[in-house]
Structure 1
């Protein structure tokens, strides 16, 4: 277990989230093309808020305690952070004392396959590092608290494994990173799109986004493949990866959070000017 590396990963996730949330211009806008940094402040969203709860529970318990995680999600829920309506309803019910177990499986008629489990999962992979059995177990356990559909869990597993591989081999990238993730992702929409991402590793960003999805559906299979492609394609440069996300993604903050978290699990240098502009992690952490 490596809490310091998980915290570094969390910082990279939060920075990608805050940068993405501030990039509201279309990808072909001159300011995006010219890589002109958005004006301050860069405020993070629900992606970071929930990732902070996951990190806090891991640090306190050494594993994912699902009841503690659900309680932390509900206790720190801030409606101004951009939560999806399904998660808002779920957390409101948990705050009233209802069981997350029944609520998560009932949402969306069989569990959500949204990207909410995946967006917060990178610090988990960094925390457990080379202990892949624990990474897989805790990725599933963390996801089902809010996103219990098979595809939602698969996306969470993919992100956690990518971060764990980067934690063990800090410069791992390219097709090798994606190929390292694939054996741990069960067949389905997320797995199929990740296989496509391997094939497109040398493609330009718009070609990749056209095939992998841009996060418009806010689904795991529409978000995770592009985020991991960006992290793998630009594994040597945090800035290049995040500007690529800004140019092609629709759900820029969530794709950015996943990409930034996976990269920071291996390469800890974050651009200083970006860090200066971004909101720090919450005081309660």
Structure 2
């Protein structure tokens, strides 16, 4: 294991990511159908579903954490195999079409990670938000070394997302979670300042420009307004997802529950934006202050997760 591993923060991050993913997934169908979720979210009506199920966001984040827990760093072939096997064991988690094509290949031929992902989307590789949605626990894990967090995030992204925007989205989220984990006992910078700090460590990209734009929004901007400016994942692209999710996270870095409500107000790809925001904020706060009802309804994580910090 690497000496810089912050396993406790990574464990908190995966819990927050799964909670955000499951919470956001409750709103996703309403958001798509008629937008009726907006008023319910604004009025803070807790989703009525007895069990909140998490999606591929959490399933893939678990694979990332499993590799870190076993090796202390990202081995891309091992991660490819882990992604593939998790998909084959439970393919009904809402994976996108690209992953339905790629992951069965990686399950049997993990060495194909170098050749197969770049061939997706007419040879451009994926610029989607899938590498970003799963990476917050990695950023928390490497929070003692943000340069390594960024490098490891890029390595994890390239297993499925080779487009520079897909990689930049993963780096931005990992760095944000790393900063959050480091700020457990220190003063938190203002949201605009923290967004600029994250942007400075993100590769030049539309994602980085979106983070800078997010840092320039007026203090009294409401989440729905921020989503209109930044995007909230409706195009399922990293640059259309990450800036808004991190805007929400940095504005509520001490309150996971309110971070998730604010993120859900943006609608769009709600499970993914809430997974990103939840993973980042929980790297600082943990989940102890979340309403007990939420924790009871959220689908449990696998038992091995509880041993990550041990």
Same fold (TM over 0.5): yes
Range that drifts further, 135-144 or 164-173: 164-173
Partner of 2:120: 107
Work out the CA distance in 1 between the residues paired with 2:107 and 2:304: 18
Partner of 1:57: 67
Q: TM-score by structure 1 length?
A: 0.96
Partner of 2:152: 138
Range that drifts further, 271-280 or 216-225: 271-280
The correspondence for 1:46, drawn from 48, 52, 56, is 56
* 3-state SS of 1:226 partner: helix
1:61/1:237 Cα in 2 relative to 1: closer, same or farther (>3 Å)? same
1:27/1:267 Cα in 2 relative to 1: closer, same or farther (>3 Å)? farther
Range that drifts further, 66-75 or 270-279: 270-279
Work out the CA distance in 2 between the residues paired with 1:96 and 1:56: 19
* 3-state SS of 1:210 partner: helix
Task: Please list every run of 5 or more consecutive structure 2 residues that lacks an aligned counterpart in the other structure.
Answer: 306-310
Render the CA deviation track for 1:20-64: whole Å, top value 9, x for unaligned.
001133366442222111122100000000000100111110101
Render the CA deviation track for 1:212-270: whole Å, top value 9, x for unaligned.
00101111000000000000122222121111122222100000000000000111134
Partner of 2:196: 179
Matched, 1:75 2:75: no
Work out the CA distance in 1 between the residues paired with 2:269 and 2:36: 12
Render the CA deviation track for 1:84-112: whole Å, top value 9, x for unaligned.
00011100111232611100111112210
Shift of 1:152: 0.3
Give the superposed CA RMSD.
Answer: 1.5
Shift of 1:283: 4.2
Render the CA deviation track for 1:124-171: whole Å, top value 9, x for unaligned.
111011212211110110000001110000000000000001111126
Render the CA deviation track for 1:184-236: whole Å, top value 9, x for unaligned.
11222101111100011621112211110010111100000000000012222
Within-5 A mapping of 1:63-212: 63-77=73-87, 78-97=90-109, 99-108=112-121, 109-170=123-184, 172=188, 174-200=191-217, 202=219, 203-212=221-230
Q: TM-score by structure 2 length?
A: 0.88
The correspondence for 2:237, drawn from 209, 219, 238, is 219
1:91/1:28 Cα in 2 relative to 1: closer, same or farther (>3 Å)? closer
Partner of 2:308: none
1:133/1:32 Cα in 2 relative to 1: closer, same or farther (>3 Å)? closer
* 3-state SS of 2:115 partner: helix
- Give aligned pairs, total: 285
Work out the CA distance in 2 between the residues paired with 1:229 and 1:124: 20
The correspondence for 1:260, drawn from 270, 278, 288, is 278
Range that drifts further, 182-191 or 49-58: 182-191
Work out the CA distance in 2 between the residues paired with 1:238 and 1:74: 31
* 3-state SS of 1:216 partner: coil
Shift of 1:180: 1.4
Task: Please list every run of 5 or more consecutive structure 1 residues that lacks an aligned counterpart in the other structure.
Answer: none
Work out the CA distance in 2 between the residues paired with 1:245 and 1:56: 27
* 3-state SS of 2:84 partner: helix
1:28/1:10 Cα in 2 relative to 1: closer, same or farther (>3 Å)? closer
Structure 1 runs of 4+ aligned residues shifted over 6 Å read: none
